């Protein structure tokens, strides 16, 4: 297989890189190793929620926060990618979402503060419109709604936690559960079950009736993100009108329906545009000759298959799609076989408290100013290979709530470098 640009990965960085290269008129192959990380995330785009992994106060203006971060840490991946790549990449993704019929809102200059499924306030930048009314900058009271037989969202737990942490609301948070129309009370439901059921108008109207009868005046309703699977915007608007109150969705535990909507729509648009997909074949080895990568090798059906390209973007997200290989004492990069971290004991990769910043979160491949994987001397391991996403060294995307912004900025910049190469 030969192509202009090969992108390896299945997360937002890979999608952004593939879209950028394809819009430039190049032949693009997207190697999708397997399960995407987007199924396990909340399907919001976090640009910078906290200035550091141990910061307590959220960032108000993420774009300004990125500027400060770049000035203080010139080797940070945001600094390597550049603020311009972040801004241009976000505009590309926003236009892309609109073109595939997904309604999103938000701004690079203002973080929303949204409740999670456990009731913890979370700063985020760009969100589906169906989540926007959950902004904790508003003071109107909140009622969280769950379903009998649905175990992936406990409204009582979320309400209790949110009431303690949401100072602007004065603790005015309550919870309710409603019956699932047409099913017995002992039936157990998944998020997918409910999302599909909500696409039925009769089902929506009955749930809305139950909720409406119990909502106090002026309250807004928080629902698990199950308001539709294939037509989420239509379902959300119809349900909100039937309830007669402001409604917002809250991302649930994985697999996230919101993540399914987001990823599947973008992936389908790439396929329809002519991007070649190689699915379920992890890439595990790069072949380098005279400073250039000539091909990468894929594992599939007990065999190895080569993919040749003029340039490669490795946009793997941590260990979800095989960015790193962890042994007892060493963590290696699977493409060049480089050791990226060594530990005397595996326990040294973690902190004592689950809530502290963990050393393993910052493990990754060092890069050059052009986002090429770098060796011990800082030189590129291959001139035509570029890195994007969570496998880059030197930052904690989870602790700083910056995974989405970093994926977009590095995916966009890596694609531009691949085009130039």
Which residues have CB under 8 Å from 35's CB, separation 6+? 10, 320, 321
Question: Which is it for strands 385-387 and 339-342: parallel, antiparallel or unpaired?
Answer: unpaired
Which residues have CB under 8 Å from 350's CB, separation 6+? 358, 359, 360
Contact present, 211 and 239 (Cβ < 8 Å):
no
**Residue 215 DSSP one-character state:** P
Burial class from Cβ neighbours inside 10 Å (0-12, 13-18, 19+) for residue 182 reads exposed
Contact present, 110 and 60 (Cβ < 8 Å):
yes
Closest CA to 113 of 100, 130, 132, 99: 132
Q: Is the peptide bond before 255 cis (omega within 30 degrees of 0)?
A: yes
Q: What is the pLDDT of residue 355?
A: 62
Let me know how many helices (H) and strands (E) the chain has, helices first: 10, 18
Q: What is the pLDDT of residue 398?
A: 77
State the residue for tokens 């989420």. Answer: 232
Question: Which is it for strands 2-8 and 28-32: parallel, antiparallel or unpaired?
Answer: parallel
Determine what percent of the chain falls in helix, strand and coil, rounding each to the nearest 5: 35, 25, 45
How far apart CA 275 and CA 326 sit, in angstroms, is: 32
Contact present, 413 and 14 (Cβ < 8 Å):
no
| CATH 3.50.50.60 residue ranges for the chain | 2-101+261-420
**Residue 209 DSSP one-character state:** H
Angle (deg, nearest 10), helices 83-99 and 62-72: 150
Contact present, 77 and 406 (Cβ < 8 Å):
yes
Tens digit of each residue's pLDDT, the chain (421 residues) = 789 999 998 889 999 999 999 999 999 999 987 766 666 666 799 999 999 888 889 999 999 999 999 999 888 889 999 999 999 999 999 999 999 999 999 999 999 999 999 999 999 999 999 999 999 999 999 999 999 999 999 999 999 999 999 987 777 999 999 999 988 777 888 999 999 999 999 999 999 999 998 999 889 999 999 999 999 999 999 999 999 999 999 988 877 899 889 888 998 999 999 999 888 778 888 889 999 999 998 887 778 888 999 999 999 876 555 666 666 666 667 788 776 666 667 666 666 666 666 655 666 788 899 999 988 888 999 999 999 987 887 777 778 899 899 999 999 999 999 999 8
Long-range contacts of 290-298 (CB under 8 A, 24+ apart): 291/380, 291/382, 291/383, 292/382, 292/383, 292/384, 293/382, 293/384, 293/385, 296/6, 296/8, 296/31, 296/335, 298/31
Select the CATH number that applies to the domain covering 2-101+261-420 from these four: 3.40.1160.10, 3.50.50.60, 3.40.980.10, 3.90.170.10.
3.50.50.60
pTM of this structure: 0.91
């Amino acid at each position: 297989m030969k192509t202009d640009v090969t992108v390896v990965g299945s997360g937002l960085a890979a999608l952004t890189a593939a879209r950028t290269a394809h819009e430039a008129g190049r032949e693009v192959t997207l190697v999708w190793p397997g399960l995407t990380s987007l199924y396990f995330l909340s399907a919001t785009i976090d640009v910078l929620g906290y200035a550091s992994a141990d910061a307590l106060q959220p960032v108000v203006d993420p774009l300004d926060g990125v500027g400060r971060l770049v000035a203080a840490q010139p080797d940070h991946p945001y600094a390597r990618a550049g603020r311009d790549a972040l801004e241009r990449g976000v505009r590309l993704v926003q236009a892309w979402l609109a073109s595939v019929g997904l309604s999103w809102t938000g701004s690079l200059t203002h973080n929303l503060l949204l409740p999670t499924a456990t009731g913890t306030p979370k700063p985020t930048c760009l969100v589906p419109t169906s989540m926007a009314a959950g902004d904790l900058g508003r003071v109107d009271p909140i009622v969280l709604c769950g379903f009998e037989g649905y175990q992936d969202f406990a409204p009582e737990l979320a309400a209790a936690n949110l009431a303690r942490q949401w100072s602007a609301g004065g603790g005015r948070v309550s919870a309710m559960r409603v019956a699932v129309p047409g099913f017995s009370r002992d039936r157990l439901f998944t998020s997918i079950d409910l999302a599909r059921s909500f696409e039925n108008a009769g089902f929506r109207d009955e749930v809305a009736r139950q909720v409406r009868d119990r909502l106090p005046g002026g309250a807004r309703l928080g629902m698990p993100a199950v308001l539709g699977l294939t037509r989420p915007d239509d379902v959300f608007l119809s349900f909100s009108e039937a309830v007669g109150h402001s409604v917002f969705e809250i991302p649930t535990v994985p697999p996230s329906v919101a993540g399914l909507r987001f990823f599947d729509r973008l992936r389908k648009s790439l396929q329809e545009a002519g991007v070649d997909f190689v699915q379920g074949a992890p890439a595990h080895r790069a072949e380098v000759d005279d400073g250039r990568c000539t091909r990468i090798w894929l594992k599939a059906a007990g065999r190895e298959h080569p993919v040749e390209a003029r340039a490669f973007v490795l946009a793997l997200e941590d260990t979800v799609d095989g960015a790193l290989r962890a042994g007892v004492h060493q963590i290696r990069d699977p493409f060049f076989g480089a050791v990226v971290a060594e530990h005397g004991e595996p326990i040294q990769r973690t902190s004592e408290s689950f809530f502290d910043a963990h050393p393993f979160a910052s493990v990754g491949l060092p890069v050059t100013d052009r986002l090429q994987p770098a060796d011990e001397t800082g030189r590129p391991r291959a001139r035509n290979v570029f890195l994007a996403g969570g496998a880059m060294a030197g930052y904690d995307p989870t602790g700083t709530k910056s995974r989405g912004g970093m994926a977009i900025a590095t995916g966009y910049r890596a694609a531009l470098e691949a085009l130039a190469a």
